[in-house]
């Protein structure tokens, strides 16, 4: 088969979970004899002409098409908010690729920077298409279901008034944005409804309000035209269905990872200090600051902390993390590494910590930790708790609570037999081959089967 995969960003410039998953699936498909190409978004310069926003490169022998997105008017669209989910220029580019390459199936791993209008391009050509939602982008513009103050969000209100307030709160200046922040959500819902009902109504940011108002409905209508949606967690399935996605299009199938036998060695009791690790994006919602503060509260010479992540992704936050690092217990900022080395990295740790402050969608590093038989200390949030069972293969702590995480770390450092017991319960994870089996079932399956639970 000829297969086109899409994602919002890709290797080698970006190497978070969605990018690694996309590349792993591409490799497995090629190993099975299929031809694979990849379309990715990219944060391009605002100064590029429209005809300069398309280029190509190769990665590990795969042809990668790239659309350089920016929040400037393009493709006839003036609303900057609409450019993230309804980008006509990206859709035209995708249509050209589809016509030239003529894939047998398109599988979307992420639609940010490209837009859900790519689904329309597939439908118009009779091209089968499926989606793996790797985060909550479909229902949430930030993809995190998390408010500016860090509180959790259940998704858009009736007319996305809460989303409009959230976006207004991120604007650094302007009387209008400040005024919106003080209004009740019901009042903003009413403004959004009136703006949609009367298109000629004009006021500051009226186009943006209309775009936010129609975002969820537009995305859901398009998702309901896909052949299948391969949801990685029960949390994701419930979130999509609650916001209008047809449950008969959803298959639930957990991710798989590539790993080698040496990564599955038994974890042993550390010789001296407990070796604690964090692997992921150094961004506020990942909660690394919670981990450093909890680590600092341990008695001197108890443990060492090894942080793997790019300090340049969010430089302001990275500086905050570096300023938090104490001296009683060493904190090492280790940078990034190729995903092929994750086994060696985990071999140098005793425990992995995932202190996320949002509804994580089972990050791939959890599967890698299981392969390496390393217990995980994780926030007690849905998604994470689907893979980590408290006192079985790891420990859960109340998310965002420094003292609770310190207590969990101290237990692993001092409680006899705990590390070994948790390690013994780390079961081998699903493989990339398992996951690709599920994808190929989804690609060829009829729609009206109800929610299925694939191999989990």
Residue 100, preceding peptide bond in cis (omega within 30° of 0):
no
Beta strands in 73-133 (DSSP E): 105-108, 129-131
Which pLDDT value is given to residue 173? Answer: 60
Pairing of strands 54-59, 62-69: antiparallel
pLDDT of residue 169: 81
Give residue 303's pLDDT: 94
pLDDT in tens, 175-232: 666 677 778 999 999 999 999 999 999 988 899 999 999 999 999 999 999 999 999 9
Q: Alpha-carbon distance 233 to 239, whole Å?
A: 10
Q: How far apart are CA 241 and CA 223, in angstroms?
A: 11
Identical fold at 2-145+215-256+434-453 and 261-424? Answer: yes
Strands (DSSP E) contained in 44-195 are 54-59, 62-69, 105-108, 129-131
Which architecture characterizes domain 261-424 according to CATH? 3-Layer(aba) Sandwich (3.40)
Q: Mean pLDDT by 10-residue block, N- to C-terminus, for the chain (456 residues)? A: 97 93 97 98 96 97 98 94 95 98 98 97 97 97 86 92 88 66 88 93 91 97 97 95 97 86 50 89 94 95 94 94 87 91 92 93 88 95 92 96 97 94 93 95 67 41
Q: Which CATH number fits domain 2-145+215-256+434-453: 3.40.50.2000, 3.40.190.10, 3.30.43.10, 3.40.50.1860?
A: 3.40.50.2000
* Domain ranges within the chain, ordered by starting residue: 2-145+215-256+434-453, 146-214, 261-424
């Amino acid at each position: 088969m000829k297969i086109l995969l899409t994602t919002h960003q890709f290797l080698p410039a970006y190497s978070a979970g969605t990018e690694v998953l996309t590349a792993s699936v591409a490799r497995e498909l090629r190993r099975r004899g299929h031809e694979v190409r990849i379309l990715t978004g990219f944060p391009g310069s605002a100064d590029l002409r429209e005809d300069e926003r398309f280029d190509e490169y190769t990665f590990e022998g795969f042809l990668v098409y790239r659309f350089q997105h920016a929040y400037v008017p393009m493709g006839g669209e003036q609303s900057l908010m609409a450019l993230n989910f309804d980008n006509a220029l990206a859709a035209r580019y995708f249509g050209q690729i589809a016509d030239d390459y003529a894939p047998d199936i398109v599988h979307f791993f992420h639609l940010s920077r490209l837009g859900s209008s790519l689904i329309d391009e597939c439908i118009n050509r009779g091209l089968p298409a499926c989606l793996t939602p790797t985060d909550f982008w479909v229902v949430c513009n930030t993809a995190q279901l998390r408010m500016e103050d860090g509180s959790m969000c259940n998704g858009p209100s009736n007319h996305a008034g809460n989303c409009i307030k959230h976006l207004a709160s991120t604007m650094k200046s302007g009387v209008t944005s400040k005024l919106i922040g003080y209004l009740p959500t019901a009042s903003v819902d009413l403004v959004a409804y009136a703006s949609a009902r009367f298109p000629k109504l004009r006021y500051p940011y009226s186009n943006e309000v209309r775009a936010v108002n129609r975002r969820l409905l537009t995305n859901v209508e398009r998702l309901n035209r896909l052949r299948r949606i391969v949801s990685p967690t029960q949390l994701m399935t419930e979130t999509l269905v609650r916001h209008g996605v047809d449950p008969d299009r959803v298959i639930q199938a957990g991710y798989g990872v590539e790993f080698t036998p040496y990564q599955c060695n038994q974890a042993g009791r550390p010789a001296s200090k407990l070796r604690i690790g964090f692997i992921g994006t150094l961004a506020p919602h990942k909660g690394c600051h919670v981990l450093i503060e909890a680590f600092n509260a341990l008695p001197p010479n108890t443990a060492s902390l090894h942080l793997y992540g790019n300090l340049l992704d969010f430089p302001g936050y990275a500086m905050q993390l570096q300023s938090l690092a104490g001296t009683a217990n060493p904190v090492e900022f280790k940078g990034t590494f190729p995903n092929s080395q994750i086994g060696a990295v985990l071999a140098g740790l005793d425990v992995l910590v995932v202190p996320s402050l949002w509804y994580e969608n089972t990050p791939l590093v959890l599967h890698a930790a299981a392969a390496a038989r390393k217990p995980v200390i994780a926030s007690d949030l849905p998604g994470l708790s689907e893979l980590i069972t408290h006192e079985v293969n790891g420990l859960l702590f109340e998310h965002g609570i420094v003292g609770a995480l310190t207590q969990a770390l101290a237990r692993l450092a001092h409680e006899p037999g705990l590390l070994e017991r948790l390690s013994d319960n780390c079961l081998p994870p699903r493989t990339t081959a398992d996951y690709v089996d599920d994808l190929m079932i989804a690609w060829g399956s009829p729609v009206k089967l109800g929610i299925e639970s694939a191999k989990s």
